[in-house]
Amino acid sequence: MAEAKAESLRARIYRALDPEARKRGLSITNIALAVLIVVASLVAITATEPTIYAPYARAFITAEWVFGGIFLVEYLARLWVAAERPGAGGPWKARLGFMFSFSGIVDLISVIATLTPGTPAGPLLRAFRLMRVLRLAKLGRLSSAWRHMAEAVSSRRSELILSLGVGVGLMVLSATLLYLVEGDAQPDKFGSIPRALWWAVATLTTIGYGDIFPITPVGKLLASVTAITSIGLIALPTGILAAAFSDAMARHREAAPSEDEKA
Amino acid sequence: MAEAKAESLRARIYRALDPEARKRGLSITNIALAVLIVVASLVAITATEPTIYAPYARAFITAEWVFGGIFLVEYLARLWVAAERPGAGGPWKARLGFMFSFSGIVDLISVIATLTPGTPAGPLLRAFRLMRVLRLAKLGRLSSAWRHMAEAVSSRRSELILSLGVGVGLMVLSATLLYLVEGDAQPDKFGSIPRALWWAVATLTTIGYGDIFPITPVGKLLASVTAITSIGLIALPTGILAAAFSDAMARHREAAPSEDEKA
Amino acid sequence: MAEAKAESLRARIYRALDPEARKRGLSITNIALAVLIVVASLVAITATEPTIYAPYARAFITAEWVFGGIFLVEYLARLWVAAERPGAGGPWKARLGFMFSFSGIVDLISVIATLTPGTPAGPLLRAFRLMRVLRLAKLGRLSSAWRHMAEAVSSRRSELILSLGVGVGLMVLSATLLYLVEGDAQPDKFGSIPRALWWAVATLTTIGYGDIFPITPVGKLLASVTAITSIGLIALPTGILAAAFSDAMARHREAAPSEDEKA
Amino acid sequence: MAEAKAESLRARIYRALDPEARKRGLSITNIALAVLIVVASLVAITATEPTIYAPYARAFITAEWVFGGIFLVEYLARLWVAAERPGAGGPWKARLGFMFSFSGIVDLISVIATLTPGTPAGPLLRAFRLMRVLRLAKLGRLSSAWRHMAEAVSSRRSELILSLGVGVGLMVLSATLLYLVEGDAQPDKFGSIPRALWWAVATLTTIGYGDIFPITPVGKLLASVTAITSIGLIALPTGILAAAFSDAMARHREAAPSEDEKA
């Protein structure tokens, strides 16, 4: 009898925690946890700002312990209810399976990161916590959107890798040219190819911080050609992705014309 | 008899004021009001510039009162003729309907904003006035263009939200990395994740103000990877939107092949 | 007899000067004139640079007179041979037709601009000369490319104008917000909406000169939202144009499947 | 007998060196050479940085000689086994064919560049070495991706050239306007059209280094119009390429619907 009740409690917690256990929509627990993860991440981001952290150090430390406690309880609960997952074999095998699954490892790291403040890599591990929100992406519309995007990107991965290769090649080429042409005029900025590469990256991605740019006429001429090339460099992957998305949609419609209406 | 004449006047004013009351084209009143709104907005924008405002303060104040008066008369006229709207029930019900409709509220706020100069939020409310030009967007070609765009964007809203999520995730990730790597070298610029986020936003959107950029070799290397990623971040939503617009056009043509010629 | 010879000379000059008189390819005269226009424009551009102009002033003045002379002779020749144009009516009517045609006016302005050095608007009129190269765009492949592009752009002009409207609206909105938030901290940069608009334009077009950017936390937060919006603002017209070009190509192929091979 | 063994050795080396000699995948030799080329290029790039080169000059010089030796041996080996290439005629004719082929010349220049350190153009020739990695692009998926991209770009080359022409025209026009408007206020920055062109390039490609921008109200107004135009200038080639890629995919699927699965 007690066993049956525990079973039923475990099953209920499982349905509350695992978004895949429900047909559609999110359980209140999942929404609350997602909000908590975002809040905890915002707190962790803010905590790195000394002018905010200093006067409220106690509050930040308390908050981290509270978040850590909740995430620890959540982790243990997930471990416990893993046995409910359909087709997982025995309960302990299912729990081991969860521990070594991608989301299980992300969860464990998140808990450890929250409960060990002061480590140098702490901020990175806490930013990492945001990945846990990804769990929600398994749901309904978002899940199919993920699949669409992944399909479209991966169907054209050769072209995208080639675009990247062409881009990197152009960066090396223009950095080399500007090193040769501009190196004498601005040795601290264009005095080596690695230094000139910093300029080439900022130029070909059209960021243009403005910390480094040619000042000689020939350098400006070559930089102008590089700058105009940058439009092509942005247009190439964009055009490939646009075509890939169009293609994916067209295939989709042909394969299952009514699925779009259902989704 | 006088009633009939008033009726007819009200109906005429209604046709002059409401762009939906006409099959095609704009009434002269509508064009005049649109021009007036744009002029009033330009005046309000210019009025915030002290070097222009100071010598012509009187002219600006007078202009605001004139615009406010015209908009007040227009608002009252719209309220009066709301009764002409087909299917609105009784005249007072129609007027209440207009008062609490989106465009009715925008109109009222515009009038109040114009007639209460000197409030701190004044400029915002006056910029808000530009929204009234949207009323013209209900017409013919523009209206169908709006619908097309809204359809295309909303049909891919899951993918667009995911792109935004991926973008924000990348911003947090690269900000965290540069905070760890560059924080010691430039504590005032990369000394916290919020500060580094300002850099990440300017870099991943390819704006690159140049007020903040890494100076250490490792920081520049990571920033270069971020910069190259920014191209993908721009290409992703652009590709999705391009495919969505293509798809919307293709559907449209299939559904009603001759509508394009008519529109 | 002499008349017949003159006729034949005029016809030959006509075929040499007018790209439309030939089925395909360009006459040597046309190529030479195109090269001359580009060279003359480069000379005119270079002539504005005082450090280059000063030591070679004589050479520049001579070059301008030579170019002016050639363009004058060309203009008179075009006027003379305009009579050869098929379906132009009488020879003098054809000449008047050429004088008041778009390219005739462009040619005349170019000649006058070249032969009147030293006027303040001179550089603009000389840059204007580049428009004469457009005459070559009437030919074969380029002509059909022009037509394709014009068709694609104009078929979606309502959407493109709306995008522009949305963009300008966003600029005004974010400029107003930053004026309210950042105006006190940086009165010389954000002290009025027109000043803040300069920031909004540089941000929403992702140019980011770096002469003006927010420094307060709230200003940076709002600017980050604006910056992220800028991606959408670029993606919107790009997506519309991509879809329009796809659509134009698809229609084209359906209408005349073999024309592409012929072109 | 010895001849037969040598033949067989030559054939084996040929299969190891030429990626086209294999149906799919890369030989270990090819992968090793590709890695070596990338490493040698990275070393050459790093060697230009004085702060890294100075303390390790000996190591860098040794590395260059080692790379040069390996590339020399590889070049001679390729020359020897060129005779194995099917349909090449006699062995010496095949070798001459390789020597004067594009990749043969690239290889020879790479060897010479590596073995002649200290020449002024050395860095450029060594960056040039990266082109040798292109040999791998002949393979399977990458090769068909190259072909797709080349087809898509070249099918719309007229439109892309026109976009470039329109872009350059806009640059000259806006540079001329800002030279006229802003030249007096900032003679060192906008005092000639070539100087203003540097601004126009940085603006219309949305790079915006920030070394040069208008400061007068009229200059800022014209620059804002130019800035907004820049979005169209980026959208145009992107849209054309997107449509071209879509079109290429659609044709491809129609022509050989099952090839995509095979590739």
| Mean pLDDT to the nearest integer, B125-148 | 70
Residue C1: the pLDDT is: 44
**Closest partner residue to C238 among A207, A238, A246, by Cβ?**
A238
Q: How confident is the model at residue A206 (pLDDT cuts 50, 70, 90)?
A: very high
Mean pLDDT taken over chain B: 82
**D-chain residues within 8 Å CB-CB of B210?**
209-210
Is B128 within 8 Å of B113 (Cβ atoms)? yes
Between B89 and A43, residue with greater pLDDT: A43
Please name the chains neighbouring C, where neighbouring means 3+ C-beta pairs under 8 angstroms. Answer: A, B, D
- Percentage of chain B lying above the pLDDT 70 cut: 81
Q: Is the pLDDT of residue A113 over 80?
A: no
Is any Cβ of chain B less than 8 angstroms from the Cβ of A209?
yes
Between A255 and D11, residue with greater pLDDT: D11
- Per-residue buried b or exposed e for B13-50, using 16+ beta carbons within 10 Å of the residue's own CB: bbebbbbeeeeeeeeebbeebbebbeebbebbbbbbee
Q: How confident is the model at residue A263 (pLDDT cuts 50, 70, 90)?
A: very low
Is any Cβ of chain C less than 8 angstroms from the Cβ of D120?
no
Classify domain B2-137 at the CATH topology level: Four Helix Bundle (Hemerythrin (Met), subunit A) (1.20.120)
Cα distances from A154 to residues A158, A163, A245, D256, in angstroms, run: 8, 14, 11, 20
Q: Among all chains, which residue has been given the structure tokens 């008062």? A: B99
Residue B263: the pLDDT is: 38
Cβ within 8 Å, pair D209-B206: no
* Residue partners of C30: CB distance under 8 A and separation at least 6: C16, C17, C19, C135, C136
Q: Among all chains, which residue has been given the structure tokens 């030249």? A: D183
**B-chain residues within 8 Å CB-CB of C238?**
238, 241-242
Cβ within 8 Å, pair D206-B206: yes
Least confident piece of the model among A141-145, B207-211, D81-85: A141-145
Q: How confident is the model at residue D48 (pLDDT cuts 50, 70, 90)?
A: confident
Between D64 and A221, residue with greater pLDDT: A221
pLDDT digits (tens, 9 = 90+) for B40-65: 888 888 888 889 888 998 898 888 88
**Closest partner residue to B210 among D210, D239, D242, by Cβ?**
D210
Q: Is the pLDDT of residue B110 over 70?
A: yes
CA closest to C191 among chain B residues: B49
Gap from B90 CA to chain D (nearest CA, Å): 48
Is any Cβ of chain A less than 8 angstroms from the Cβ of B207?
yes
In CATH terms, are C2-137 and C152-262 the same topology? no
Is A245 within 8 Å of A152 (Cβ atoms)? yes
Q: Among all chains, which residue has been given the structure tokens 């070049």? A: D75
Between A231 and C119, residue with greater pLDDT: A231
Looking at mean pLDDT, say which of A19-28, A100-109, A211-220, B129-138 comes out highest. Answer: A211-220
For chain D, how far is it from start to end, CA to CA, in angstroms?
Answer: 42
Cβ within 8 Å, pair D180-C120: yes
Is any Cβ of chain A less than 8 angstroms from the Cβ of B172?
yes
Q: Is the pLDDT of residue C250 over 50?
A: yes
**B-chain residues within 8 Å CB-CB of D209?**
210
pLDDT digits (tens, 9 = 90+) for C127-176: 667 777 666 666 656 777 888 888 888 988 888 988 998 899 899 989 98
Compute φ and ψ for A88, nearest 5 degrees: -100, 0
| CATH of region C152-262 | 1.10.287.70
Is any Cβ of chain C less than 8 angstroms from the Cβ of A231?
no
**A-chain residues within 8 Å CB-CB of D252?**
none
- Percentage of chain B lying above the pLDDT 90 cut: 22
* Residue partners of D256: CB distance under 8 A and separation at least 6: none
CA closest to A209 among chain B residues: B210
Q: Is the pLDDT of residue B142 over 80?
A: no
Residue B141: the pLDDT is: 66
Residue D259: the pLDDT is: 43
Q: Exposed (0-12), middle (13-18) or buried (19+): which is D164, by Cβ within 10 Å?
A: middle
Gap from A229 CA to chain C (nearest CA, Å): 16
Q: Is the pLDDT of residue D11 over 60?
A: yes
Q: Which CATH architecture has domain A2-136?
A: Up-down Bundle (1.20)
Cβ within 8 Å, pair B173-A210: no
pLDDT digits (tens, 9 = 90+) for D176-194: 899 989 989 999 999 998 9
Looking at mean pLDDT, say which of A126-130, B142-146, C140-144, D52-56 comes out highest. Answer: D52-56
CA closest to D204 among chain A residues: A228
Query: How many Å apart are CA B98 and CA C180, to the nearest integer?
Result: 31
**A-chain residues within 8 Å CB-CB of B239?**
152, 238, 240-245
Q: How confident is the model at residue B258 (pLDDT cuts 50, 70, 90)?
A: very low
- Percentage of chain C lying above the pLDDT 90 cut: 23
pLDDT digits (tens, 9 = 90+) for C52-90: 888 998 898 888 889 888 988 988 998 888 888 777 678
Residue C35: the pLDDT is: 86
Residue D98: the pLDDT is: 86
Mean pLDDT taken over chain A: 82
Residue C15: the pLDDT is: 80
Cβ within 8 Å, pair C127-D173: yes
Cβ within 8 Å, pair A243-D246: yes
Q: How confident is the model at residue A21 (pLDDT cuts 50, 70, 90)?
A: low
- Percentage of chain A lying above the pLDDT 70 cut: 81
pLDDT digits (tens, 9 = 90+) for D145-160: 888 888 888 988 888 9
User: Per the structure block, which two tokens stand in for B212?
Assistant: 């903040």
CA closest to B239 among chain D residues: D242
Residue D178: the pLDDT is: 92
Cβ within 8 Å, pair D238-C242: yes
Residue A141: the pLDDT is: 67
Residue ranges per structural domain of chain A: 2-136, 152-262
Residue D22: the pLDDT is: 63
| CATH of region D2-138 | 1.20.120
Cα distances from A214 to residues A179, A191, A226, A229, B221, in angstroms, run: 10, 12, 12, 16, 21
User: Per the structure block, which two tokens stand in for B162?
Assistant: 């995911």
Least confident piece of the model among C99-113, D74-88, D104-118: D104-118
pLDDT digits (tens, 9 = 90+) for D129-139: 676 766 666 66
Residues 59 to 118 of D: which have CB under 8 A from any A CB? Answer: none
Q: Which of C163, C171, C176 to mutate to test the interface with B (most CBs of B within 10 A)?
A: C176
